[in-house]
Amino acid sequence: MAEEDPLLPRGVQRVDVSSYRDVFIQKQNQSQLLAIFVVTFDVKKGNTVSWQHPAQFDLSSVDFKAIPSGLHTLESDYVYFNQNDHFGLACFNRYSTNVAAERNARMCSVGIIMDYYEALYPHLNFLSAECRKQNRRDVPDHSDLITYFNQVASRPHSNSNPPVAPSRSVRPFATSFVDFWRFFGPSVFVLWRAMMLNLRILLYHQVPIGPLSNRVGWCRALLPESLWQWIGRNSEGACPALFYVSVADIGTVKSKRSFIACTSELIFKEKSDLWDVFVDGNGVIASRDSVGLRVTNADRTHYKKLNQRMESVGSEFMEVFAVRYFGNLSEHLRHRFTSGTDVYTSELSEIGLSRSDVPFLRRYARKHKLDVSVKYSYCCC
């Protein structure tokens, strides 16, 4: 990935990819383990928080988030979610029994709450293993959970320390960026434009929830933190990652002016007042206002070129390549549109865009209150 890569926008300071990884390491180091809990399915009461530590931590509605709709059909899964401006990760397990009173199955989730979602993934293996153990016990025993909580909570948090969890990986999610990239295809450019417009983005898919949660995180990872701060500068907030939401979260969803979230509940598709962009299980995108939010031929061409280049650098570096590409594209766009002079279509190729992006660019200028017009260039022969 040489610096003169022609696929990257020119004329603007390049995004430092090392700082992107540093952010994840820093947040893993600084993040605190706030709570650990067990949610079980009771045949009479439904989902119930059967145990938590510390006892006073607010886990209201976490029972709906830790065992999402449809998980009863799976043996195991995991889910990311938002909990009162903190972030949670819960691992689910269903264990078959011969107990009629349990409807021949036990279902539970074991989860944690932390202040940064980037710090959750290193705990996934422990939560998954502990969930299986909890489900197979006739008498509850939470001593291992308390020990784990105390060990993690007692570790110092600073930029110079290693990640708090046993795993030293800086990989932010369980599924790779390659899976995200191939699932969305050219539609990834529509998602990028929707994020640049700071819209309400909702991803839908049937269970399992784990890969769906990861797509939310990978979406947000496409833009550098500095750009998110600029996008949300007009007191709107910068498209927070809500991760999994259910009908129990409709009040929260309604209160947000922008977000990236996911759901397994198809009823959200009918509630179009709750989202601006809805992505179905096949990656097909619907929007309330489609201006600038359709897949174009230019998107397909850019995706094909990027895909070829990514394959040449190998799957290990695809994430870094994509983050650098979209980061530079976003920063160049901001740089040009805050220059105070009109933008002409003849210069769009230098930004990394095309004439087909004019509807999006005009909407972008209006959204961010930029005193810039986008004008067509005509050749006088």
pLDDT at 183: 93
The token duo for 222 is: 């496409």
pLDDT at 102: 66
Q: What is the dihedral of CA 60, 61, 66, 71, to 10 degrees?
A: 160
pLDDT band at residue 282 using 50, 70 and 90 as cut-offs: confident
pLDDT at 158: 55
pLDDT band at residue 12 using 50, 70 and 90 as cut-offs: very low
Contact 372, 343 (CB under 8 A): yes
Longest alpha-carbon distance in the chain: 85
Contact 242, 256 (CB under 8 A): yes
Above 50 in pLDDT, residue 238? Answer: yes
Q: 68 vs 379, which has greater pLDDT?
A: 68
- Average pLDDT (279-306) is 91
Rounded Cα distance between 323 and 300, Å, is 19
Rounded Cα distance between 115 and 117, Å, is 7
pLDDT band at residue 296 using 50, 70 and 90 as cut-offs: very high
In whole numbers, what is the pLDDT of the chain averaged over residues? 86
Q: What percent of the chain has pLDDT over 90?
A: 59
Q: List pLDDT tens digits, range 191-202.
A: 999 999 999 999
Q: List pLDDT tens digits, range 52-75.
A: 999 999 999 999 999 998 998 999
pLDDT band at residue 104 using 50, 70 and 90 as cut-offs: low
Bridge partners of residue 42, in order along the sequence: 46
Q: 39 vs 102, which has greater pLDDT?
A: 39
pLDDT band at residue 184 using 50, 70 and 90 as cut-offs: very high
Distances (CA, A) of 229 to 67, 95, 162, 196: 33, 44, 27, 11
Pairing type for strands 33-42 and 46-53 reads: antiparallel
Above 60 in pLDDT, residue 168? Answer: no
Q: 352 vs 371, which has greater pLDDT?
A: 371
Q: Taking the CA of residue 242 as centre, how many other CA atoms within 13 Å lie in the half-sphere pointing to its CB?
A: 26
Report DSSP state, residue 117: G
pLDDT at 167: 36
- Average pLDDT (38-51) is 91
- Average pLDDT (329-357) is 92
Above 90 in pLDDT, residue 16? Answer: no
Rounded Cα distance between 9 and 72, Å, is 47
Q: 169 vs 38, which has greater pLDDT?
A: 38
pLDDT at 162: 39
Q: List pLDDT tens digits, range 110-137.
A: 999 999 998 999 999 999 999 999 998 8
- Average pLDDT (249-272) is 94
Q: List pLDDT tens digits, range 70-86.
A: 998 999 999 999 998 89
